[in-house]
Amino acid sequence: MPSEAAAQADFTILRYAQVWEDADILLEALDIQPDDECLSIASAGDNALAMLAKGPKKVIALDMNASQLACLELRVAAFRQLDHHEILELVGSVASDRQQKLYEALRKCLSPETQKFWDSRPIAPGIGHAGKFENYFRLFREWVMPLIHSRRRIEELLQSREPAARLKFFNECWNTWRWRLMFHLFFSRAAMGALGRDPSFFRYVEGSVAEKILERTRHALSVLDPALNPYLQWILTGRHQTARPFYLREENAGLIRKNLDRLEWHQAPLEDYLSQVPKGRLSKFNLSDIFEYLSPETTEAILRTISARCRPGARIAYWNMLAPRNAPECLHDRIRPHRELSAQLHLQDKAFFYSAFVLEEVP
């Protein structure tokens, strides 16, 4: 099966230096067990590492982009060689001036290709800043937000409040006309295509991109607690102030480190790998948001292949950002939607810009 995504988008640049998908809801959805062999879209590697914390038999990380796998390989080396606080420093989760020194300590553990990749890039202020998408958020943080709210107001937003007080603060202090105007301009289809995501990722999106994301942002800022949201904190401050994604929490570091030998990674399109993996091997799938930029026909073909080759009882999780994708009715004898749980988890999703979280199961 030829890769539609590879034919449309540039998969050579480092697009994501972090994974912008909430591992907490992913892990709850997949319910990983000790006998599970899991497949995860690699991206920067955060959620593949998070899956290791649940103790599966195997996690296979897959990506078409060698740059993304270089992110994963460096993170694996960091978990093998560094203590928890040093990992936070390397990523940029906390303030530090030691990123280059920490990288030099890890460099000998990396493949020649990954050494070459990171040698050509600035390590400071942290490897979590290195991608095109993260640079997009940096531009928003440094150039757009000062036109909307002061640094003090941003710090106020990130304080923990009771739900009623949080909604009151959003309505009376945050949701100004400047906020709405600048948000519509910066998160428009044109701006995101030029500065953040590949323009081809919007081929199947209809309607206003900014308006859809703005509504989800309202939910994150007024319903969810910003003090517990690492994705929001990074966007607004460039660090994780009071919250961290699952793989960077201290209580998970030891579990991830213990299970690193259960992780493998490959550079290949999903379609190619699925055609080669032994039938009945894989049981849990983290498919990121790959269907966002694939046609409904390609989406159906991939899901059909998974259902034919996976283990009975397999679970499939993925996100929709703006293009609606899920198993079509013609596959419901093979893939059953978990609509109620999907909707419940989506309401908890701290990576707030997605329009839907989808969980499906193969009977």
CB atoms within 10 A of CB 261: 9
Mean per-residue pLDDT, 83-95:
98
Residue 148: what residue type?
I
State how far Cα 252 lies from the chain centre. 18
Question: 191 and 143 in contact (C-beta within 8 Å)?
Answer: no
* Per-residue model confidence (pLDDT) at position 292: 85
* Per-residue model confidence (pLDDT) at position 203: 57
Per-residue pLDDT band for 322 (boundaries 50, 70, 90) equals confident
Question: 33 and 7 in contact (C-beta within 8 Å)?
Answer: no
Mean per-residue pLDDT, 288-310:
94
Per-residue pLDDT band for 290 (boundaries 50, 70, 90) equals very high
DSSP string, 139-204: HIIIIIGGGT--HHHHHHHTS---HHHHHHHIIIII--HHHHHHHHHHTSHHHHHHHTS-GGGGTT
Residue 245 confidence (pLDDT) above 80: yes
* Per-residue model confidence (pLDDT) at position 194: 63
* pLDDT tens-digit readout, 90-112: 999 999 999 999 999 999 999 99
Question: What would the two tokens of residue 274 be?
Answer: 């699925």
Question: 79 and 87 in contact (C-beta within 8 Å)?
Answer: yes
Mean pLDDT of the chain: 93
Mean per-residue pLDDT, 237-263:
98
* pLDDT tens-digit readout, 168-222: 999 999 999 999 999 988 887 666 766 655 555 555 455 567 888 899 999 999 9
DSSP string, 305-354: HHHHHS-TT-EEEEEESSS-----GGGTTT-EE-HHHHHHHHHT-SSTT-
Tell me 33's DSSP state: -
Residue 9 confidence (pLDDT) above 60: no
Rounded to an integer, what distance in angstroms lies between the CA atom of residue 91 and that of residue 75? Answer: 9
Helix axes 99-107, 112-119, angle to 10 degrees: 160
E strand or H helix that includes residue 115: helix 112-119
The DSSP bridge partners found for residue 319 are 357
Rounded to an integer, what distance in angstroms lies between the CA atom of residue 105 and that of residue 194? Answer: 36
* pLDDT tens-digit readout, 123-157: 999 999 999 999 999 999 999 999 999 999 999 99
Percent of the chain whose pLDDT exceeds 90: 85
* Per-residue model confidence (pLDDT) at position 185: 87
Domain segments of the chain as ranges? 4-79+246-361, 136-237
The DSSP bridge partners found for residue 63 are 267
DSSP string, 219-280: HHHHTS-GGG-HHHHHHHHSS-SS---GGGSHHHHHHHHHTGGGEEEEES-HHHHHHHSPTT
Per CATH, domain 4-79+246-361 is 3.40.50.150:
yes
CB atoms within 10 A of CB 274: 20
Mean per-residue pLDDT, 286-315:
95
* Per-residue model confidence (pLDDT) at position 212: 84
β-strands 315-320, 356-361: how paired?
Answer: antiparallel
Per-residue pLDDT band for 1 (boundaries 50, 70, 90) equals very low
